[in-house]
């Protein structure tokens, strides 16, 4: 019976220990009060913003308020900006003209050849600068926003090659292909060659022998000699979701292992890269396996040119 009592007492003590929580963190964040005007602290561009710490906490992270570190966007995954395409092109061999078209659509029910050929494509070739020599030529910014109406819309980009039999046909190389979702705070990449190399779909229209190839650095097609047949060949992107963005992230400063990113026990130094007004949000927290207690502290910073 004594053993049972001892066991129950030990179990009660263990249960009490597991229910022990954590305390609110005591660390406070401040800035030089001499820089404060109303509720905003003012700095010149290039100045170091010195956040001062007093007290202690187990963990501290900060959203500095500038691009990719905005607390208001910590849970943002969709935001529609301007959908912009850019690429470079180079051509060689022959004298045939108008052999490359750049096309886009938001209406493509499938990536089979019938769907692609019958889709309602918008010819955007005239919006791009195309090469006339072997020198890689930048297309400039091609705005696709007119084809996008909603944050969940997808868009497809295609390159269509046409070479005529009876004369040496052109060879085209496309590099630096990028589609961006351009927002006031960030250019978010939606598609590029290195990440999407495996997602290009290619079609040869009979009797074509020329075919597009895709690598992490280029899309390319080699036309035939004068004895080759007429060549019509397509390469089509994956569906590019125009409104996608990545959530903004915090910068870790303090954890149980120490300090990082210019942080110390007494503060954190940061230099804003652009003029503007920023909301710096510090999340200061203590935690155990069962519980976390957090203090959210906000400071407004104005950076003048």
Q: What pLDDT does residue 257 have?
A: 86
Q: State pLDDT tens for residues 139-167.
A: 999 999 999 989 999 999 999 999 999 99
Q: What pLDDT does residue 17 have?
A: 36
Instruction: Provide CB contacts within 8 A for 131, sequence distance 6+.
Output: 88, 89, 90, 91, 137
Q: State pLDDT tens for residues 251-274.
A: 999 998 899 999 999 999 999 999
Dihedral pair phi/psi, residue 304, rounded to 5°: -95, 150
Q: Are 205 and 87 in contact (CB under 8 A)?
A: no
pLDDT bin (cut points 50, 70, 90) of residue 8 is very low
Kindly list the domain boundaries of the chain, sorted by start residue.
Answer: 22-75+248-304, 82-241
For residue 242, the SS3 value is coil
Q: Is the pTM of this model over 0.75?
A: yes
| pLDDT cut 70: percent of the chain above it | 93
Measured CA distances, 142 to 83, 130, 158 (Å): 9, 12, 13
At the fourth CATH level, the homologous superfamily of domain 22-75+248-304 is Immunoglobulins (2.60.40.10)
Q: Average pLDDT, stretch 2-19?
A: 37
Q: Are 26 and 57 in contact (CB under 8 A)?
A: yes
- Of 12-26, 50-64, 110-124, 238-252, the range with the lowest mean pLDDT is 12-26
Q: State pLDDT tens for residues 11-48.
A: 333 333 344 468 999 999 999 999 999 999 999 999 99
Q: What pLDDT does residue 21 have?
A: 62
């Amino acid at each position: 019976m004594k053993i049972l009592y001892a066991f129950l007492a030990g179990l009660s003590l263990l249960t009490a220990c597991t229910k022990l929580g954590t305390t609110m963190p005591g660390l406070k964040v401040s800035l030089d009060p001499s820089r404060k005007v109303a509720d905003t602290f003012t700095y010149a561009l290039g100045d170091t913003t010195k956040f001062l710490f007093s007290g202690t906490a187990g963990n501290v992270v900060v959203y500095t308020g500038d691009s990719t570190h905005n607390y208001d966007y910590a849970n943002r995954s969709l935001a529609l900006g301007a959908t912009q395409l850019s690429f470079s092109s180079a051509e060689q061999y022959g004298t045939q003209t108008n052999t490359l078209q750049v096309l886009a659509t938001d209406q493509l029910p499938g990536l089979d050849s019938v769907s692609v050929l019958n889709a309602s494509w918008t010819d955007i070739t005239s919006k791009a600068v195309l090469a006339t020599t072997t020198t890689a030529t930048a297309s400039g910014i091609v705005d696709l926003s007119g084809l996008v109406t909603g944050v969940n819309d997808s868009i497809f980009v295609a390159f269509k090659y046409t070479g005529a039999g009876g004369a040496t046909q052109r060879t085209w190389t496309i590099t630096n292909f990028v589609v961006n979702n351009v927002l006031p705070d960030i250019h978010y990449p939606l598609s590029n060659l290195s990440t999407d190399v495996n997602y290009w779909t290619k079609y040869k229209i009979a009797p074509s022998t020329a075919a597009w190839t895709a690598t992490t650095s280029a899309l390319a097609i080699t036309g035939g000699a004068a004895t080759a047949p007429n060549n019509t060949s397509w390469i089509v992107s994956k569906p590019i979701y125009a409104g996608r963005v990545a959530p903004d992230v915090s910068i870790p400063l303090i954890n149980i292992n120490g300090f990082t990113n210019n942080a110390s026990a007494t503060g954190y130094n940061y230099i804003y890269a652009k003029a503007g007004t920023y909301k710096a949000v510090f999340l200061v927290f203590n935690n155990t396996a069962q519980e976390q207690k957090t203090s959210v502290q906000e400071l407004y910073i104005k950076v003048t040119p």
